[in-house]
């Protein structure tokens, strides 16, 4: 099993090197590179951010501010199931804060955090562009609309039981 894990890590390192080499000195490719590397690693650790800054020839501070500006990027390990709750106006009016509170309480995490078992992470995001379905939650990018605290927990539990 350890050998398989090592192989996966080696493959990931090679893929990261490939992305960085392809965009060497290309500061305009920053967002694209961050996106590709986050897909490979799952998040953007600080040592990797420095490497990206060096290769693309941008300031490390610029990499950090792009990551913090876009909710899509994270510098922390994310859960297997990434839950995002919309706190845009339409969702807010229809009670998204109660849903966020319920999830935080039930799984003992705050927005931006991941549970200790690495299964669940929670983010609060701006309008997801599906206001007609408010309040809206996404899990690994799949939208679930017209939810309430109980429905949200039921949906998350199904993901955790691998029923969705
Ligand atoms: S405000 Fe939540 S989807 Fe638009």
The 3-class secondary structure across the chain, one letter per residue, is CHHHHHHHHHHHHHHHHHHHHHCCCCHHHHHHHHHHHHHHHCCCCHHHHHHHHHHHCCCHHHHHHHHHHCCCCCCCCCCCEEEEEECCHHHHHCCHHHHHHHHHHHHCCCCCCECCCCCEEEEEECCCCCHHHCCCEEECCEEECCCCHHHHHHHHHHHHCCCC
Task: Kindly list the distances between the CA atom of residue 81 and the CA atoms of 138, 153, 164, in Å, as whole numbers in the listed order.
Answer: 10, 13, 11
Q: How far is the CA of 146 from the centre of ligand 1 (A)?
A: 11
Q: Which domain holds residue 105?
A: 81-160
Nearest to 134, CA basis, from 115, 122, 120, 148: 148
Total tally of structural domains belonging to the chain: 2
| Per-residue pLDDT in tens (0 to 9) along the chain, 164 residues | 444 455 558 888 999 999 999 999 999 999 999 999 998 888 899 999 999 999 999 999 999 999 988 877 888 888 899 999 999 999 999 999 999 999 999 999 999 889 999 999 999 999 999 999 999 999 998 999 999 999 999 999 999 999 98
Within a 13 Å sphere around the CA of 78, how many CA atoms are in the beta-carbon half? 22
Nearest C-alpha to atom 1 of ligand 1 is from which residue?
88
Ligand 1 atom closest to the Cα of residue 86 is 2
Ligand 1 atom closest to the Cα of residue 96 is 2
Residues 102 and 147 in one domain: yes
Residues 54 and 104 in one domain: no
Residues 51 and 88 in one domain: no
Residues 148 and 95 in one domain: yes
Residues 40 and 6 in one domain: yes
Which residues surround ligand 1 with Cβ inside 6 Å? 86, 88-91, 127-128, 130-131, 134, 136
**From CA 2, how far away is CA 5, in angstroms rounded?**
5
Residues 156 and 96 in one domain: yes
- What pLDDT shows up at residue 7? 59
Residues 129 and 155 in one domain: yes
**From CA 81, how far away is CA 100, in angstroms rounded?**
15
**From CA 118, how far away is CA 67, in angstroms rounded?**
21
For residue 74, being part of any structural domain is answered with no
Residues 98 and 152 in one domain: yes
CATH code of the domain in which 141 resides: 3.40.30.10
Residues 25 and 55 in one domain: yes
Residues 59 and 96 in one domain: no
CATH code of the domain in which 55 resides: 1.10.10
Residues 85 and 154 in one domain: yes
- What pLDDT shows up at residue 105? 97
Residues 56 and 86 in one domain: no
For residue 49, being part of any structural domain is answered with yes
For residue 61, being part of any structural domain is answered with yes
For residue 149, being part of any structural domain is answered with yes
């Amino acid at each position: 099993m350890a050998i398989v894990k090592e192989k996966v890590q080696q493959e990931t390192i090679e893929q990261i090197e490939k992305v960085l080499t392809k965009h060497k000195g290309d500061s305009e490719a920053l967002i694209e590179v961050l996106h590709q590397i986050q897909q490979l690693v799952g998040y953007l650790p600080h040592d990797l951010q420095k490497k990206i800054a060096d290769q693309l020839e941008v300031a490390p501070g610029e990499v950090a501010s792009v990551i913090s500006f876009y909710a899509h990027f994270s510098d922390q390990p994310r859960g297997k199931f990434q839950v995002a709750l919309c706190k845009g106006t339409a969702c807010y009016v229809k009670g998204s804060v109660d849903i966020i509170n319920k999830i935080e309480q039930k799984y003992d995490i705050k927005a931006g955090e991941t549970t200790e078992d690495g299964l669940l992470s929670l983010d609060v995001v701006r309008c997801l562009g599906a206001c007609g379905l408010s309040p809206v939650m996404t899990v690994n990018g799949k939208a679930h609309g017209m939810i309430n605290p109980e429905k949200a927990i039921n949906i998350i539990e199904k993901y955790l039981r691998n029923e969705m």
